[in-house]
Amino acid sequence: MEQKFIRTHFVEMNLGDMIEQLGEDVTKSILSSFSCPVNRDIENFIKERAIEFSKRTTAKTHLVFWQTEDEKEIELVGYYTITSKVITVDRKVLSKTEAKRLRSQGIYDEEKQEYIVSAPLIAQLGKNYAGGNDTLISGSELLQLAVDKVRKIQREIGGRFMYLECEDKEKLLDFYYRSNFKFFGKRKLDRDETGIEGDYLIQLFAMF
Ligand SMILES: CC(C)(COP(=O)(O)OP(=O)(O)OC[C@H]1O[C@@H](n2cnc3c(N)ncnc32)[C@H](O)[C@@H]1OP(=O)(O)O)[C@@H](O)C(=O)NCCC(=O)NCCS
């Protein structure tokens, strides 16, 4: 019997645009199916806070769908959220080239030997484990979509540094190191940051 090969691709949708096109109720019902048992913070954010954050323009969420070319099948496979923050980066963790690049983007504090920069933060990133949808995308594909989005924004406004923060877990750190992110510090959790394991987050950056 002849096997038919169906081409698939990923489609991204800005959460704000989705609300505009489909309305808040339909959007909420799509998000309600999202499941992330390995990281409840990722699940709770998309279900309870992403819409509010998008509306307040605090942080913008992008949903990633897997779709067949004939558009007959579409599945929510993950999401990422981007915002912009001011951070400090210790000179010691940077190579000569990285320091040179960062110098043109931020302020250098001679006394503390650190850079103060405004930079895009990939604030959330996770696959949707509901119904086995996590098998339709790899973590590196999802991260690449987030990185590509940041780079697209930076092509318009400048900058080449981006960062993210994650729990101090070997599997997560290995994942980001494999994707060329580098350690640059630890940040103590704010009091309102609940649902995260430990009392600090590891900060990782990438520069292009
Ligand atoms: C991080 C992520 C995108 C990587 O995707 P991936 O490279 O395709 O990897 P997998 O989903 O196959 O996970 C690899 C392993 O890491 C583990 N893992 C993933 N997220 C984890 C987490 N937050 N805490 C502990 N372990 C985690 C998985 O259970 C799996 O373990 P196994 O090898 O024993 O089966 C994906 O695992 C994910 O969505 N995780 C949940 C959300 C999350 O934690 N995001 C990071 C926020 S900083």
DSSP code per residue over the chain: -PPPPPPEEEEEEEHHHHHHHH-HHHHHHHHTT---TT-HHHHHIIIIIHHHHHHTTSSEEEEEEEEETTSS-EEEEEEEEEEEEEEEEEGGGS-HHHHHHHHTTSEEETTTTEEEEEEEEEEEEEE--GGGGGGGS-HHHHHHHHHHHHHHHHHHH---EEEEEE-S-HHHHHHHHHTT-EEEEEEEPPTT--S-SSSEEEEEEEE-
Check residue 159 and give its pLDDT. Answer: 93
Q: What is the pLDDT of residues 20-58, one digit of tens each?
A: 999 999 999 999 999 999 999 999 999 999 999 999 989
Q: Which residues line ligand 1 at a C-beta cut-off of 6 Å?
A: 36, 38-39, 42, 125-127, 134, 138-140, 142, 166, 169, 171-172, 175
Nearest CA to ligand 1 atom 43: 126
Q: What is the pLDDT of residues 149-192, one digit of tens each?
A: 999 999 999 999 999 999 999 999 999 999 999 999 999 999 88
Mutation test of ligand 1: which of 39, 136, 142, 179 has the most ligand atoms closer than 8 Å to its C-beta? Answer: 39
The answer to whether the predicted template modeling score (pTM) of the entire model surpasses 0.85 is yes
CA of 139 to the centre of ligand 1 (A): 8
Check residue 194 and give its pLDDT. Answer: 81
Mutation test of ligand 1: which of 129, 172, 173, 189 has the most ligand atoms closer than 8 Å to its C-beta? Answer: 172
Mutation test of ligand 1: which of 35, 81, 127, 142 has the most ligand atoms closer than 8 Å to its C-beta? Answer: 127
Check residue 4 and give its pLDDT. Answer: 74
Check residue 139 and give its pLDDT. Answer: 98
For each of the domains in the chain, give its residue range(s) and CATH number, in order of start. 8-207 (3.40.630.30)
Check residue 1 and give its pLDDT. Answer: 61
Average pLDDT over residues 81-93: 97
**Is residue 2 over pLDDT 70?**
no
